Structure formats: structure tokens, C-alpha cells
Structure 1
Amino acid sequence: MCAKKFNAYFDPSSFFFGQSRKRGLPKVPVDEEVNEESGYYSSSYGSGSESSDAPLRFIIIRHGERVDVMFGAGWTQKAFDHTGAYHCFDANMPPSLPHRTNWIDYDVDTPLTAKGLSQSWNVGSVLARYNLPVTACYSSPAFRSIQTADRILEGMSRKGHVPLRLELGLFECTSWYARSPINFMSDEELLNGNYNIDTHYRSQVSDLRLLENEYQYYDRSKEAMKKIIRLHRKTGGTILLVAHAPSLEVLTRHLMNGQPRPERLAELAGKVDFCSMTVVERESSTKPWQFRYSLDEQANQGIWQQQQLQLQQANHALIPSKSHTPAVQSSSSSSHYQPPNTFANFLAKPSNSAHQHQYFPQQDAYPPYFVL
């Protein structure tokens, strides 16, 4: 009963996502002009105007180390024989891979390395020690993100309790894959590979524009977050979102009333290491969203309001006039930018944990993030 949900969202004649069983044409033509004033900030979803008072937290994390980055393009030619049997040729290769209809698809829809799998498990273990129990998990349909989410939940001892919801809206900017057609794995293939997939969940974003630009990527990510927030605004809880490097920016930017920065997105994403994560939360629907600056619950209690005020001041200084198109900030101005002290001194008290985590101070109002 498990259909190939994600491949069915795309046109079978499409060069971008390859062959599929059902037609799912993009809602907007590829060459449609995007209005910078298209209402990116007009929605009240996630802005504190909902009627629920449930505390809600999102842990947004990039996937772990990927095989193609470590072993280069075409690594599958060495890892698979003519029959499609997988052979591990390096200690950092994944020990095994689930069977998929066409093993060549692993070239683009790449898996994690052995280190990436270990990284992901360790993240889950640390989150469990910091008492951040995940109540729901959403993953990009990219296999590397699915593997990361799976191992994080395993590290938290939550794999059997929290199924993976595959959300198309969490995938990367499609124009970045214009030369590399990709086919996502089916539910059947993932279930046979022992991944706990929620087969009843239907993606909140039903299809992707082909060759969307970076601004459209921001807009699509905002829509995905709006809908996921709506699903959990009554119950609250800690929601894990496992996706890609730019996800830390595009999924949180509108929550902080920040302007999209499409012209800088690739540069900003390049700063985000494997398994880096940002945490955004609100105490109730009447409170603003805030970044978390420590994994220690108590360390955050007394500085939430101060952090939010400073973040809003930093954002306000960087937001251009609506009558002008956002421009790339000059190197001279960025070199004089001074982040608020709270961003650098994020811990109210030193951690006694043997498992230290690095924190990268926010620059140019970029989301603060952790590397565990």
C-alpha cells in the first residue's frame, strides 16, 4: 500500500526529477517573475497570533557528512558491481545501503558516510542528555536527511516511537540541482531498509517548482513552516526538522521578521557544517519566536527577552527600505558589524558536560547554530 509518493509529485517528462508514475505539473511557470513585495511577511502563521498557548520548539539540523563529498562524484561506479551489489571500499563508507530500484540514483541522492551516521547518532544522544525529547520529526525526502533523522532518533532512543514524516517542502532549492536529476526513494524501499516512515503522512507542500530561484525557495520554505506550525500549534512540543545547510536560514528567517537574502544564500549556507543545528522556540503563541543560545534549559530562562530585543534591533538595522531591492552588504560595512554581547556570551554558566558543543556567534543576523 506504500506508493512512491514523492516521485509522483513531478512531471514524468521532467529532466529535473527524472521519471515518475503520475503527472504533477508545477503550479507556477518556471520563468514567472517573483515580486519582492509578494507578502512574505503578511501571514500571521507562526508570528504569535494563534489562539493556542502551547510552547513550541523547532530543532532544525543539517544532515551529516555525505559520501559524495568525501569520495567524489561517480563513487557508485566503485561501490556497486554490475549486478547492483554494494561493496564497502573504505572504512568511512556506510557499512550497508538499502536496495533501491536503480542504484545509480545514489550518485545524486547520496547517503551518509560512516562518520555521518556516527555524527547523527551522537547528536541524538546529546539532545537526550539535555532533555530535549522530540515529539515529532520531519525530514527532507533526500536520503542523507532521512538517514540523519533516523540516527538522531535512534541516539535519543526514540526511533520506534517517532516515525519520520517526509516533507517535500524541506528539500533544497531546485535550481541548484538543474544539472543533476534526482529520484527520491520510495516508501517501500525505505521501509525495507528499516526506516520508520510514517506512510499516512502527506507532505504539506504538494509539489516543487522546477528551477525555482532562491527567493522562491525562501517563500516555499516559509509556506512549509506555516503549515507544520499549524499542525502542532495546539499540542506544542519539540519538533525535529532534518534538511539541508540553507534550511537553518530559510526556515527561520520569517519567524524573526527578517528580510530574505537570496543573493547571499549560497554564501551563508557554505558556513554551515554537517549536523549543525539551530533551535527556535516560543513560550506561547502570544510570545515572539526566539533563538536558543544554549542547550541548557535553565541558562536560557533569564535572557530570552533580552536576546529577542537585541535580535530585533540587529534585524531592524539590516532591513532595507521596501522601495529598494535588497542588496549585498558591502564587505566594509559587514566588517564593522558588532553582534550583541548576548550572542557571544551565550551561556549563563559553564557547562559541566563531558560532551562540549561549539557555538558560532550570529553575524549579519544569521541564525545562531550549534555543532555538537
Structure 2
Amino acid sequence: MLQTPVLPAIFYIGHKKQKSGYPRIGNYDLRVIVMRHGERIDQVLGPNWYKSPQAHAQVPKNMPKRPNSLLYVFDPPITREGERLAMLRGKQLATLGAAADYCYSSPSSRTVITASNLLIGMNRASVPIKIDPILFETMSWNPHLKMLGNISPFMSTKDWSTAGYNIDRRYHRLATYLNPNETEYEYYHRSELFLRSIERRYGSGRSRKNILVVGHASSTEIFPIIAGRYKFDGNRFGHNLTNMPFLHTVILERDAYSKIWSVKPVNI
């Protein structure tokens, strides 16, 4: 049974210990909170979860209906426990002064549902979710999606909105097509494109901005590499993600003067 995470008295930021949660010092202008989605239902009930008698009790209550329900096999949601923990994580981040002003999500159902519950926990349900395929994980890790051909496994913004999710339907996506044969290096470049777009969109002005990005295990690994300008090894990239927990969180901050990013791992 999963245990409820406890809000710690101390966060570990780099090699220093900071009391009172997330440190508010530092003159940053952009803060990007990158998170992995919540608990996947297929990793709890197995690959045939949709046939399990337990599925009804595990599926999120506000689950959008799809014309072809079998597409959920290719795009599994999170569990109700995953929803609860995502909401709790949102509360924790808000308590630490890291509530979202803007929110972006991968188009997968597990990330959109996670993002919605994080925002509810942050008391930021009014912040619309901007869905962008550019945030989906490395395509080479999803060979099963090739079986769909030209059929998208993801739901449209209209479907999400109809189900009651607060989706930004005016948002213009940075990507509308993902190469099914994409390599890890190509994934790196599209992720870099996204982070640079965040800098252009929100990097001017005097007010600080918190941007929540809900993606996959690969998201919490790739964006610190890009922000920190570390060398990227595509051959070893996937090896670092084996034991990545659900709702893993990394915070990036950009200095307001030097425009240099710092990477701040957060342990909750």
C-alpha cells in the first residue's frame, strides 16, 4: 500500500539544507516546476487493466469518455490514488511558495489528469492547462504506438473540456506531429525547443513567474540537462530513469540578471 508523503521540515537544495521548505532567496525571474505524472493504472493492474474487475474502482471518477475506449490501452490514465497524491503534492508545493501561474502538459491522459489535480491542490484550478505533444516522452520508447498508424492515441482538447477539465483551447501547440522513429537525440532537441519557448514567452517583465510542466520520467531528466547545459548522452539517457518515482519533481530557476539556469532537486 502506498504511504501518504509527509511534508518535510527540510528540503535538500543542491548540497545545502534549507529550513522552512523551499527557499525564497535568490533573484530569479523564471521558475519551472517539472514533474512526472502520477501512478499509472496499467502499472498497478497490469497491461490488461481495462479487463480487470478492479478497474472500475481504480479509474479516475472524472474520466473522459472516448469514442474508442480501446485507445486507453495505448494511453492509460492514472489511478484514483494517483489523483489523491497529485492533489496532495500540489498542496505541498503551494505551501512552499511554488504554486503555478501557468501550466503545460504532455497530451497523454496520465499527465493531463495529474496536472488537473496538482492545480486543484495548489488552489489554482482556474489556471488552464496548455496541452502540447512536444512534451510527450521519447517516441522510440513507444513502439506500440506504430500499430495505430495515423490514429492519435490522445484525446482532443475538446474531449477534455467536455469532460470538465480546464484546458486552454486557444493555445497554439509547438508540435503537431511526432516522428514515430524519433531517437533520444531528437527528443533532446524538441525538449530544448520547448524550454527556449518558455524563456521567450515569459522571460520578460519584472514579475516572477512559476510554470508547471507535467510530463514523464524523461521530462524530469531532460530539462535539467538542457537548463544546466550538461553533456547529453542519448545512449545512456534511459538508464537513469529506471527507478524514477511517480510525481518526481525538479525545480529550475533562471537568474534575473545572468539568465543562467540553476537546477534544484526537491525531495518531498
The TM-score range, normalised by the shorter chain, is 0.7 to 0.9
Larger strand proportion of the pair: 2
Question: What letter matches 1:274 in structure 2?
Answer: F
Does 2:164 match 1:190? no
Which structure carries more relative contact order (alpha carbon 8 Å, separation 6+)?
A: 2
Q: Which residue of 2 aligns with 1:283?
A: 255
**Aligned-pair distance for 1:179?**
1.9
**Aligned-pair distance for 1:244?**
0.1
CA distance in 2, matches of 1:59, 1:231: 16
CA distance in 1, matches of 2:212, 2:256: 18
**Aligned-pair distance for 1:369?**
4.4
Q: Which residue of 2 aligns with 1:217?
A: 187
**Aligned-pair distance for 1:261?**
1.8
Is 1:67–1:93's contact at 8 Å kept on the other side of the alignment?
yes
Deviations 1:27-55 (A, max 9, x none): xxxxxxxxxxxxxxxxxxxxxxxxxx971
* Between 117-126 and 96-105, the greater mean CA deviation after superposition: 96-105
* Between 181-190 and 244-253, the greater mean CA deviation after superposition: 181-190
Structure label with greater radius of gyration? 1
Q: Which residue of 2 aligns with 1:63?
A: 37
CA distance in 1, matches of 2:229, 2:194: 16
Structure 2 residue matching 1:111: 3-state secondary structure: coil
Is 2:158–2:169's contact at 8 Å kept on the other side of the alignment?
no
How do 1:234-253 and structure 2 match up within 5 A? 234-235=204-205, 236-253=208-225
Is 1:54–1:233's contact at 8 Å kept on the other side of the alignment?
no
Q: Which residue of 1 aligns with 2:98?
A: 132
Does 2:132 match 1:167? yes
Q: Name the CA shift for 1:286/1:67 in 2 (closer, same or farther; >3 Å).
A: same
User: Runs (4+) of structure 1 moved beyond 6 Å?
Assistant: none
Q: Name the CA shift for 1:279/1:207 in 2 (closer, same or farther; >3 Å).
A: same
**Aligned-pair distance for 1:141?**
0.5
CA distance in 1, matches of 2:194, 2:136: 10
Please point out which of 74, 88, 100 is paired with 2:48.
Answer: 74
Is 2:59–2:77's contact at 8 Å kept on the other side of the alignment?
no
Question: What letter matches 2:211 in structure 1?
Answer: I
**Aligned-pair distance for 1:269?**
1.4
Structure 1 residue matching 2:224: 3-state secondary structure: coil
CA distance in 1, matches of 2:248, 2:78: 15
How do 1:1-372 and structure 2 match up within 5 A? 55-78=29-52, 88-90=55-57, 92-160=58-126, 162-180=127-145, 181=148, 183-235=153-205, 236-292=208-264, 368-370=265-267, 372=268
Structure 1 residue matching 2:252: 3-state secondary structure: strand
**Aligned-pair distance for 1:131?**
1.4
Q: Name the CA shift for 1:206/1:179 in 2 (closer, same or farther; >3 Å).
A: closer
Unaligned runs of 5+ in 2: 1-26
Is 2:45–2:55's contact at 8 Å kept on the other side of the alignment?
no
Structure 1 residue matching 2:144: 3-state secondary structure: coil
CA distance in 1, matches of 2:222, 2:263: 14
**Aligned-pair distance for 1:74?**
2.1
Question: What letter matches 2:161 in structure 1?
Answer: L
CA distance in 2, matches of 1:251, 1:183: 25
**Aligned-pair distance for 1:256?**
0.8
CA distance in 1, matches of 2:181, 2:266: 28
Question: What letter matches 1:67 in structure 2?
Answer: I
CA distance in 2, matches of 1:188, 1:206: 16
Unaligned runs of 5+ in 1: 1-52, 80-86, 293-367
Q: Name the CA shift for 1:258/1:246 in 2 (closer, same or farther; >3 Å).
A: same
CA distance in 1, matches of 2:79, 2:28: 38
CA distance in 2, matches of 1:135, 1:173: 27
Tell me the TM-score normalized by structure 1. 0.60
CA distance in 2, matches of 1:68, 1:369: 27
Deviations 1:261-311 (A, max 9, x none): 21112111123100011001023152421122xxxxxxxxxxxxxxxxxxx
Structure 2 residue matching 1:246: 3-state secondary structure: helix
Tell me the TM-score normalized by structure 2. 0.82
Q: Name the CA shift for 1:369/1:271 in 2 (closer, same or farther; >3 Å).
A: farther
User: What count of residue pairs does the alignment treat as equivalent?
Assistant: 235
CA distance in 1, matches of 2:258, 2:84: 39
